[in-house]
Structure 1
Amino acid sequence: MGSRAAAEEHIPDLNPANQTLEERLLGQGYDWNFRDTLIQSWESLLLILSTFWFILLARVVSQKLRLHGSPNLCYAVEFALVILPCILLVTVAVDYSNYIGGVILLITLWFLQRSRALEKARIRSQFDLGGHRPMCFSVLRALTHLITAICILAIDFGSFYRPYRKSRQYGAKLMDTGIGLFVFTMAMVSRRSRHLSDIRRSVLYSAMPLILLGLARTIAILILGYGQDDHEYGQHLNAFFTLGFTKFLGAMVSILARKDLHLLPLGFGLLLIHQFGLSLLGFSDYVMNDDIERSNLFNANREGLVSLPGFVGLYLLSIYVNRWMVSSSLLTYSEFIRKLRRLFYMVVILWSFFVISAYGIGISRVTCNLGYVIWMLAIGCTTLWASFGAIDFVINSVMPWEANPLEEQEKGLLTGDSPAKGRDKSIVPFTINQALNQNGLTFFLVANVLTGMVNIFLKPEDRSNLESVIILLVYMFLATKMAHEFLKRGIRLA
Structure 2
Amino acid sequence: MASRATADLFPERNPNPANQTLEEDLGMGQLYDWSWSETLIQSQESLLLILSTFWCILLARVVTQKLRLHGSPSLCFAVEFGLVILPCILLVTVAVDYSNYIGLVMFVMTLWFLRKSRVLERARTRSQFDLGGQRPMAFSVLRALTHLITAVCILAIDFGSFYRPYRKSRQFGAKLMDTGIGLFVFTMAMVSRRTRHLSDLRRSVVFSALPLILLGLARTVAILTLGYGQDSHEYGQHLNAFFTLGFTKFLGALVGILARKDLHLLPLGFGLLVIHQFGLSILGISDYVMNEDLERSNLFNANREGLVSLPGFVALYLLSIYVNGWMVSSTLLTYSELVTKLKRLFYAVLILWSLFVISAYGIGISRVTCNLGYVIWMLAIGCTTLWASFGAIDFVINSVMPWEQSSSGEQEKGLLTGDSVPKERSKPIFPFTINQALNQNGLTFFLLANVLTGGVNIFLKPEDRSNLESVIILLVYMFLATKLAHELLKRGIRLA
TM over 0.5, yes or no? Answer: yes
Structure 1 distance, partners of 2:17, 2:378, is: 27
Structure 1 distance, partners of 2:106, 2:420, is: 33
Partner residue, 1:25: none
Please tell me the residue identity of whatever aligns with 2:313.
F
Q: What root-mean-square deviation, in Å, do the aligned CA atoms of Structure 1 and Structure 2 show?
A: 1.1
- Indicate which of 28, 48, 52 corresponds to 1:16: 28
Partner residue, 2:4: none
Q: Does structure 1 conserve the Cα–Cα contact (< 8 Å) formed by 2:230 and 2:237?
A: yes
Give runs of aligned pairs for residues 38-117 of structure 1, distance below 5 A.
Answer: 38-117=40-119
Give runs of aligned pairs for residues 355-394 of structure 1, distance below 5 A.
Answer: 355-394=357-396
Please tell me the residue identity of whatever aligns with 1:348.
L
Q: Does structure 2 conserve the Cα–Cα contact (< 8 Å) formed by 1:7 and 1:162?
A: no
Partner residue, 2:12: none
Give runs of aligned pairs for residues 279-318 of structure 1, distance below 5 A.
Answer: 279-318=281-320
Give how far 1:403 is off.
Answer: 2.5
Structure 2 distance, partners of 1:426, 1:81, is: 20
Structure 2 distance, partners of 1:255, 1:440, is: 28
TM-score scaled by length of structure 1: 0.96
Give runs of aligned pairs for residues 188-337 of structure 1, distance below 5 A.
Answer: 188-337=190-339
Give how far 1:7 is off.
Answer: 7.4
CA offsets 1:418-450 (integer angstroms, 9 cap, x no match): 211211212211000000000001111111111
Corresponding residue SS for 2:133: coil
Q: Which residues of structure 1 form unaligned runs of 5+?
A: 20-28
Corresponding residue SS for 1:68: coil
After superposing on structure 2, the runs of 4+ consecutive aligned residues of structure 1 that deviate more than 2 Å are 5-11
Please tell me the residue identity of whatever aligns with 2:262.
D
Structure 2 distance, partners of 1:274, 1:427, is: 47
Give how far 1:225 is off.
Answer: 1.7
Give how far 1:16 is off.
Answer: 2.9
Give how far 1:80 is off.
Answer: 0.2
What number of residue pairs does the alignment pair up? 480
Partner residue, 1:172: 174
Q: Does structure 1 conserve the Cα–Cα contact (< 8 Å) formed by 2:426 and 2:491?
A: no
Structure 2 distance, partners of 1:300, 1:141, is: 32
Q: Does structure 1 conserve the Cα–Cα contact (< 8 Å) formed by 2:21 and 2:33?
A: yes
CA offsets 1:12-47 (integer angstroms, 9 cap, x no match): 132135x4xxxxxxxxx2131010000000000000
Q: Does structure 1 conserve the Cα–Cα contact (< 8 Å) formed by 2:405 and 2:412?
A: no
Please tell me the residue identity of whatever aligns with 2:47.
L
**Larger mean Cα displacement after TM superposition, 126-135 or 422-431:** 422-431
Structure 1 distance, partners of 2:153, 2:20, is: 19
CA offsets 1:53-87 (integer angstroms, 9 cap, x no match): 00000000000010111100010000000000000
Give how far 1:234 is off.
Answer: 0.5
Structure 2 distance, partners of 1:92, 1:151, is: 13
Give how far 1:6 is off.
Answer: 12
Give how far 1:227 is off.
Answer: 1.8
Give runs of aligned pairs for residues 452-463 of structure 1, distance below 5 A.
Answer: 452-463=454-465
Please tell me the residue identity of whatever aligns with 2:407.
P
Structure 1 distance, partners of 2:243, 2:460, is: 29
Partner residue, 1:34: 36
Structure 1 distance, partners of 2:240, 2:405, is: 44
Q: Does structure 2 conserve the Cα–Cα contact (< 8 Å) formed by 1:271 and 1:310?
A: yes
Partner residue, 2:344: 342
Please tell me the residue identity of whatever aligns with 1:154.
A
Structure 1 distance, partners of 2:352, 2:194, is: 23
Corresponding residue SS for 2:70: helix
Structure 2 distance, partners of 1:334, 1:53, is: 25
Partner residue, 1:449: 451
Partner residue, 2:488: 486
Give how far 1:482 is off.
Answer: 0.4
**Larger mean Cα displacement after TM superposition, 157-166 or 414-423:** 414-423
Q: Does structure 2 conserve the Cα–Cα contact (< 8 Å) formed by 1:120 and 1:397?
A: yes
Please tell me the residue identity of whatever aligns with 1:127.
F
Q: Does structure 2 conserve the Cα–Cα contact (< 8 Å) formed by 1:340 and 1:385?
A: yes
Please tell me the residue identity of whatever aligns with 2:44.
W
CA offsets 1:341-375 (integer angstroms, 9 cap, x no match): 00000000000000000000000000000000000
Partner residue, 1:404: 406
Give how far 1:8 is off.
Answer: 2.6
Partner residue, 1:145: 147
Partner residue, 2:11: none
TM-score scaled by length of structure 2: 0.96
Structure 2 distance, partners of 1:415, 1:102, is: 32
Structure 2 distance, partners of 1:92, 1:281, is: 44
**Larger mean Cα displacement after TM superposition, 481-490 or 214-223:** 214-223
- Indicate which of 459, 469, 472 corresponds to 1:470: 472
Q: Does structure 2 conserve the Cα–Cα contact (< 8 Å) formed by 1:7 and 1:163?
A: no
Structure 1 distance, partners of 2:17, 2:443, is: 36
Q: Does structure 2 conserve the Cα–Cα contact (< 8 Å) formed by 1:213 and 1:240?
A: yes
Please tell me the residue identity of whatever aligns with 1:353.
L
Please tell me the residue identity of whatever aligns with 2:470.
S
Structure 1 distance, partners of 2:443, 2:429, is: 21
Partner residue, 1:181: 183
Q: Which residues of structure 2 form unaligned runs of 5+?
A: 1-15
Q: Does structure 1 conserve the Cα–Cα contact (< 8 Å) formed by 2:441 and 2:495?
A: yes
CA offsets 1:191-240 (integer angstroms, 9 cap, x no match): 01100000000000000000000011111111222221110000110000
Structure 2 distance, partners of 1:470, 1:156, is: 14
Structure 1 distance, partners of 2:489, 2:428, is: 11
Q: Does structure 1 conserve the Cα–Cα contact (< 8 Å) formed by 2:80 and 2:433?
A: yes
Please tell me the residue identity of whatever aligns with 1:9.
Q
Corresponding residue SS for 1:16: coil
Partner residue, 1:439: 441
CA offsets 1:298-345 (integer angstroms, 9 cap, x no match): 100000000000000000000000000000010000000000000000
